[in-house]
Amino acid sequence: MGSKLELKLGSLVYWLTNSSLTLIQQLTLRHPAVRGEIGLPDKGAPTAAINSGETIAPGITSTDFPTKQHKISVENLHPKELLALSVQLLSKGKKESAIPLLRLALDKDPEYVKALIVMGQTLLQNGQPAEATEYLERAIFKLFLAGDPTEAEYADLLILSSQWAGVACIRQVKLRKSAEGMVHLERVGRLEEPEEARSKVHYFDGIVLLASALYNDGRKAEAAKYLRMAAAYNPAYNEYLEQCENDEDNFVTDLVSSRRGDY
């Protein structure tokens, strides 16, 4: 049963990455000062403005960014600007270049929730689930201390941090952290369905993750309850709901296979 869960969550790490990074990108680049400082246009994909050929951080050169407007020294950048650059690098698959920027952002502002979430997600993808869990749980703690549960951005960040913390804990098989992972995933299930379309996508990503974990834990009735919610949002999930209700062992395998074209 555990192997099925590992297969499912392993696939979803890749499936959910792009949508999660896009959300963080959108939330970060709402701030005009951030866009202006790093040379981004008002619309379009994020780019960084530095002189051609200049090294701006270990493993990062100007060839990572397409525009050439003015010189940037990362040491002088605000944490929001560092996060924007790191997300740009991550969108190109440059995890090893993005991590130093994220660490610098968090050195400057240890309370920066968005950077904590992106760092956790990046470390998880990098095969470091224990360290990823630390960052993600710090983000969750800070959200509960400072967040407004009725505010859309708070809900988005709590959903993202909770679902990734759940995956990170479950990945730590030898430390038997599956129960802790379930707590994080069940937090998403206790949230009210968001009203914004963008937030709904991430909410139901978390709901499907929760259903998968419950199914693999032998809690099939609870898994079916959450899959009914997901199927009401997206009828494509009806197939998995039927398999779950019929107690078919290929529920997780089929769900994984259906996502392989998405990453």
Percent of the chain with pLDDT over 70: 65
Residue 259 has pLDDT above 90, yes or no: no
- pLDDT confidence band for 153 (50 / 70 / 90): confident
Residue 240 to residues 16, 26, 122, 220, 235, Cα–Cα distance (Å): 18, 31, 29, 12, 10
Residue 188 has pLDDT above 50, yes or no: yes
- CA 113 from chain center: how many Å? 12
- pLDDT confidence band for 189 (50 / 70 / 90): very high
Question: What's the pLDDT tens digit per position in 200-234?
Answer: 988 998 998 899 889 888 898 999 999 999 999 99
Contacts of 260 (CB under 8 A, 6+ apart): 11
Mean pLDDT over residues 143-164, rounded? 82
Show the tokens assigned to 207: 């709901």
Kindly report the pTM of this predicted structure. 0.72
The DSSP secondary structure of 62-108, one letter per residue, reads GGGS-B-SS---GGGS-HHHHHHHHHHHHHTT-HHHHHHHHHHHHHH
Task: Count helices and strands (H / E) in the chain.
Answer: 12, 2
Residue 249 pLDDT: 54
- pLDDT confidence band for 62 (50 / 70 / 90): very low
Residue 226's CB: how many other CB atoms inside 10 A?
27
Residues in the chain: 263
